[in-house]
Structure 1
């Protein structure tokens, strides 16, 4: 014999019930089965809501009752042939008449007793089971039996205690004389020895099914619901969660206690002693294997699942008067017990200075009053402080029977949360190590669950969530490279990089499941109005793990937002040099905040675009080397300009060509004025450990003052036409000396300068072609022959590849 239980969603309407009957029919081909059914979806909640309304003299209960009656009659008409409807319609009408009478009594008396509530709560199962049984009688010859005639329980009406000896005897007597292949019974309801209706409390239909399974020594208890088993985490919160194929009773109870709603812990108790297997199955995908629950699993995975409970409050009792004094804990828990307040989690430091408990948020105010009253004398003597309460918390828990055999799980758990700036308020771990629980801020729940799931179930693939601002030349190339390399990164580097948000100066768009990089332009065009603060606030509210802000702009306003991102554990990758070349105090603060909040701050493309200049310098310093001197050509745009400028072309046209080909900033004066190069040598000096500001850099500009003073590109280009003779003269002087013009940055003896220089043929800079950059590092280890880094130092493609490299560096941490 097997027992099959179908939940409220499984029997919510006629179509679902037809699916249930198909499953039952197939199961009954091989053996005798008992089918336990819940009330039709949300019926019990509606009944209770209507009862409370009636007791408050609110006529709205009538509309609720009418709606329920209509739904049940419609179900009958859709399930049962017309000629066979009379009996079930008569029974259903009779039950609704009883309900109406009970509600009228509540309305007139303005009272709802536990006994009345129990009677009302059970009507949903009585209705659904009778309707389904009559439908099943026609199709598969099923029999109907009222559970109130078999399950005997106490009169604690909404949480009755079962008389197992009497119940088991009644069940065994009935089924030994019942030859039907299928017997359908209502869940949740029971009866006292005196014959009064009672109910089995939360999860009561599951509990009914477990009672039948234990009483009849069933081969298996099947719980049919709307999901394909128990999952490694809540699939609505963790998209990568997957079914657990096999789990132990204890693991299932732990997961159920901590929020896994598939079953409730009391369900397991009756079958636990008899070691009857439980299978969680999906009514709407019956071919799925589901989850098997047995005494032992045989699977060696230490962590079987991650669960959570929201709407938690932390209550803390503390004071020096507690140390070494017996009885404080007893008084605390006794006071809560006497007022029916359930304690979910307990933690106490060995110093005995405080006891911290977690309870449901709805009980918080009541608990505070109770505990303060219980310890009023100690509070008055200042031996203990008044109770401190923190609301808006969640409990997250790792669950697994084998966790005790694996070292370092707690460390991995807390390390993963810490790296994502999830603050842990309290910790509880039993000596059995089957559960490690932590209390966190509720707003961090989604991020915490995804972080832990990635750490313990997706260890080979790390997800990065990018938020990109600036989609001009560089930004567009960057997104194209991401799309091109997506599969490669996942397969070879085990990185799943998703772009969650994109913004330009006008609009911004977000998709928590990841934007389609084949159609991001259309999505952005139809996005909402953009703002720097709005972009940050949205990222904070989405609150994803491994979040990275990517700045592809040259905007000072955007650079001023970096600290806000870093303080919220959002990494920053940028090609924008303004922040790292800003005031020294701001540069230091960004570095400090990055370390404090464990948020990466990478800016390799600030110098040399895609060349590994800053990374190489950081490795030199980290390994104990010391920089004495730097010589560099750091402007790909200026190198391009002077490599292509001669007497056959105007300086204006060369600069225009450089801008058209993407070598310059949108404002080319930034490059030609030398400020861009000055920022770059400043960044290298700072990364070498020297303290300089931008005004400390000597800038020997070759541009006329009038060109430097222009306000927009049109007047700047006009000035280049005007001073063409000046530029030709600079070129001719270098040519006469058989030199080439290079815009050089130098740092030595704590001082730095930038300017146009005539480079002789013997110098390493002489043969620098196109838009290439070159850097010479003279250090303790490279005193005579410098460490040289050379290559393409400008252009959207190489800059985008440098940003890409920084993103990958974050992913590999």
Structure 2
């Protein structure tokens, strides 16, 4: 005998109902089968709502009507598939049952109450009708059916709405030997009978438990739970799409997972199966060929030390503490006795080794009742001040990691807690059982899903995911997008995925939590209707519980740079070539770094200086190793490097500037380059990296242009008057040449002073040969002297800058703040 239980989603419509029937029939042809059925999906909710609304004096007609429609749809579908199905008889039965429910509800509306004994008979009516429809289907196909009445055969002890089955007595009543071998067996789930013969319920979603009880009574070869997923997953696949479907697990693992919130199996299901060593198989009605998850008494070493991650939401934590608890015998017993007397289930317990406090969690719905019970139990101690006022923390979730293999595996707890820390999730309490089969962390409710995602990623996935939010899609941003597309396959081989979840320009943005399609991103962004709004981005990462969001700013806007401190505080990594943030006030400079440190997120800006050259990283490594920069000199502008190289070749200043503009080296208005302000910003960034607390105003700047030159002119007018400076510049060039020197536009840091100016350098100088758009940075340090550490290469261009940004984005995958 095999027992097969089908949940509401497996019976929701005619197609699924017949699919469930087909599975029962095929099982019966191999070995006699017993089907245990829930109510069709949504029916029990409607029946409970009818009772609740009636008592509250609200209209329940819509619920009654929708329930009727569900039953009629299934019956009509069954009859359409097999006209031997007793359609009229079933419709008449539904009418009788629902009219009776309507009558009871009307009485409840009058009295404003309904006894639990009567409510129980209403709540389970869906299961009764499921059995009637399934029996009619099989009888129409010529099968004989044995319908086990659970009220008569399953003896239960407890309340009308939640009872437990006495397996020993129920086994005698069921009497497997009395059931003909040729018969298909059916039984309604969710219900049993008490010693008075009254109908009682086995708790909400108790049909799994019903099936396990019947399997035990029949000593079945297997108890199969058919549902709408392929088996038990390492976590809820709706939260984590790459959750793994487990092939097997032990009874103990299944009980721990279900206790701590796994939805696929009812917490009490395993209990009746264990004494008889009856395996339980979780299968998908929609995928009957799938393997499912096999649960038995064996501890299976299948390579997975952890079998699952769960979140039990909506709990409240109580902290009973005070000096009066130290050395006081029986305090813990009184705490938990008071909970027992109040009928409150305690979910998790933790106690400090000093005996100063006991903390425990209960369902949030029981919080007020629990507080009242504790205050009553310890009224004297609270009055005398031996105990502190009882502390209650609400809106919590218990996130648990479960697995038999954890007992022998080292480092599971460390990886669990480090995953939470990296996701910036605070831990309220921790508990671990002596079996070492589970570790639980109590976290804020609004962080529970994020905690599950982060933990699953750390324990189960080799894939590293970056969720990129890109602001600025011009030259550099556009090149970055193309590089992300080009590198997709290469990164996939290294288990790295970069999902571009947002693209934004100054006006509008595109969002998709699973990553945007980048094939037509320009057109898609042009057609977007969502205005650009940083608050929307913040809401987005919280709504979708994004684990590794990276805010990438490829603009040069101060307004975007002003968002970095907040972005870091709210859980973003920040990657940017935009120099405005690092050259804002020193107070803001420090705020960004403090927020990065506090949130354990990275602020990366390698491309602020030297574009793709590894300047910042090398400087940071030098300083971290104990070196000290004694002097710095560098050519920090690709455009000015090009211009001064052409001056050396004999071009005039105006000719060299116009050529640089034509080749795209300069900004649209070359005065932005010739002013020296951009070089000054880069120099300030380097100075601050060296520990100098300077402001932008502290940089001494000699521009290429005299002060006030071309003031009030547009860029076209400026280019027309620029030749006026050629003669003066030619004199400086010739004077330098006479000394065997060339002119270079140099940023220097000496004795804590920063200066940007035109300098004449000789052939021995490290910057002498740097021209044609190259950048060069010479660091004279305690270790690198008299020959400096020299970094040299092309430091401008969209592709080079984008590559540097790309490298920074990949660095966010490694832990720790920066």
Q: Matches of residues 499-510 of structure 1 in structure 2 within 5 Å?
A: 499-510=500-511
Q: CA deviation at 1:230?
A: 0.7
**Corresponding position: 1:579 with 2:581:** yes
Q: Matches of residues 194-593 of structure 1 in structure 2 within 5 Å?
A: 194-296=196-298, 297-458=300-461, 460-492=462-494, 494-525=495-526, 526-593=528-595
* Partners of 2:458 and 2:710 in 1: CA distance: 54
Q: Matches of residues 615-630 of structure 1 in structure 2 within 5 Å?
A: 615-630=617-632
- How many residues of Structure 1 are paired with residues of Structure 2 in the alignment? 806
Q: CA deviation at 1:191?
A: 2.0
Q: CA deviation at 1:70?
A: 3.4
Cα 1:137–1:582 shift into 2, 3 Å = same
Cα 1:740–1:306 shift into 2, 3 Å = same
* Partners of 1:810 and 1:343 in 2: CA distance: 40
* Partners of 1:136 and 1:651 in 2: CA distance: 96
Out of 105, 114, 139, the position equivalent to 2:107 is: 105
Is the contact made by 1:310 and 1:393 (CA closer than 8 Å) also made in structure 2?
A: yes
* Partners of 1:604 and 1:233 in 2: CA distance: 38
Q: Deviations over 1:643-695 (max 9, x none)?
A: 34589877567546545655345664332211111121222222223333322
* Partners of 2:663 and 2:178 in 1: CA distance: 89
Q: Matches of residues 693-712 of structure 1 in structure 2 within 5 Å?
A: 693-707=695-709, 709-710=711-712
Cα 1:639–1:358 shift into 2, 3 Å = same
Instruction: Look up the match of 1:21.
Output: 21
* Partners of 2:710 and 2:601 in 1: CA distance: 38
Q: Deviations over 1:463-520 (max 9, x none)?
A: 121211111111111111111112212313x322212222211112221111122233
Q: CA deviation at 1:360?
A: 1.8
Instruction: Look up the match of 1:92.
Output: 94
Q: Which 5+ residue runs of structure 1 have no aligned equivalent?
A: none
Is the contact made by 2:350 and 2:359 (CA closer than 8 Å) also made in structure 1?
A: yes
Cα 1:352–1:653 shift into 2, 3 Å = farther
Cα 1:666–1:619 shift into 2, 3 Å = farther
* Partners of 2:659 and 2:416 in 1: CA distance: 55
Q: CA deviation at 1:309?
A: 1.4
Q: CA deviation at 1:124?
A: 0.8
Out of 752, 755, 761, the position equivalent to 1:753 is: 755
Is the contact made by 2:117 and 2:160 (CA closer than 8 Å) also made in structure 1?
A: yes
Instruction: Look up the match of 1:765.
Output: 767
Out of 189, 192, 196, the position equivalent to 2:191 is: 189
* Partners of 1:653 and 1:437 in 2: CA distance: 71
* Partners of 2:669 and 2:320 in 1: CA distance: 62
**Corresponding position: 1:685 with 2:687:** yes
* Partners of 1:104 and 1:626 in 2: CA distance: 86
Cα 1:498–1:728 shift into 2, 3 Å = farther
Q: Deviations over 1:285-340 (max 9, x none)?
A: 11211111111223242111100012222222222222222232222222222222
Q: CA deviation at 1:729?
A: 2.9
* Partners of 1:747 and 1:57 in 2: CA distance: 81
Q: Deviations over 1:159-199 (max 9, x none)?
A: 123232221012224x5442334222211122233322222
Instruction: Look up the match of 1:136.
Output: 138
Q: Deviations over 1:552-578 (max 9, x none)?
A: 111122222111112223211111112
* Partners of 2:664 and 2:142 in 1: CA distance: 75
* Partners of 1:144 and 1:66 in 2: CA distance: 31
**Corresponding position: 1:804 with 2:813:** no
Task: Decide which moves more: 556-565 or 629-638.
Answer: 556-565
Is the contact made by 2:653 and 2:725 (CA closer than 8 Å) also made in structure 1?
A: no
Is the contact made by 1:203 and 1:267 (CA closer than 8 Å) also made in structure 2?
A: no
Q: CA deviation at 1:764?
A: 3.3
Q: Matches of residues 111-122 of structure 1 in structure 2 within 5 Å?
A: 111-122=113-124
Q: CA deviation at 1:709?
A: 4.7
* Partner SS state of residue 787, structure 2: coil
Cα 1:502–1:660 shift into 2, 3 Å = farther
* Partner SS state of residue 806, structure 2: helix
Is the contact made by 1:773 and 1:791 (CA closer than 8 Å) also made in structure 2?
A: yes
Is the contact made by 1:275 and 1:295 (CA closer than 8 Å) also made in structure 2?
A: yes
* Partners of 1:423 and 1:635 in 2: CA distance: 45
Q: CA deviation at 1:732?
A: 5.0
Could you state the TM-score of these two structures normalised by the residue count of structure 1? 0.95
Q: CA deviation at 1:9?
A: 0.5
Is the contact made by 2:654 and 2:722 (CA closer than 8 Å) also made in structure 1?
A: no
Q: Matches of residues 170-189 of structure 1 in structure 2 within 5 Å?
A: 170-173=173-176, 175-189=177-191
* Partners of 2:538 and 2:656 in 1: CA distance: 40
Cα 1:267–1:159 shift into 2, 3 Å = same
* Partners of 1:612 and 1:142 in 2: CA distance: 79
Q: CA deviation at 1:279?
A: 0.8
Q: Matches of residues 576-615 of structure 1 in structure 2 within 5 Å?
A: 576-615=578-617
Instruction: Look up the match of 2:57.
Output: 57
* Partners of 2:57 and 2:697 in 1: CA distance: 78
* Partners of 2:535 and 2:273 in 1: CA distance: 56
Cα 1:666–1:286 shift into 2, 3 Å = farther
Q: Deviations over 1:736-763 (max 9, x none)?
A: 6435432111112222211122344454
Task: Decide which moves more: 739-748 or 112-121.
Answer: 739-748
* Partners of 1:535 and 1:138 in 2: CA distance: 58
* Partners of 1:393 and 1:652 in 2: CA distance: 68
Is the contact made by 1:707 and 1:720 (CA closer than 8 Å) also made in structure 2?
A: no
Is the contact made by 1:508 and 1:535 (CA closer than 8 Å) also made in structure 2?
A: no
Cα 1:642–1:250 shift into 2, 3 Å = same
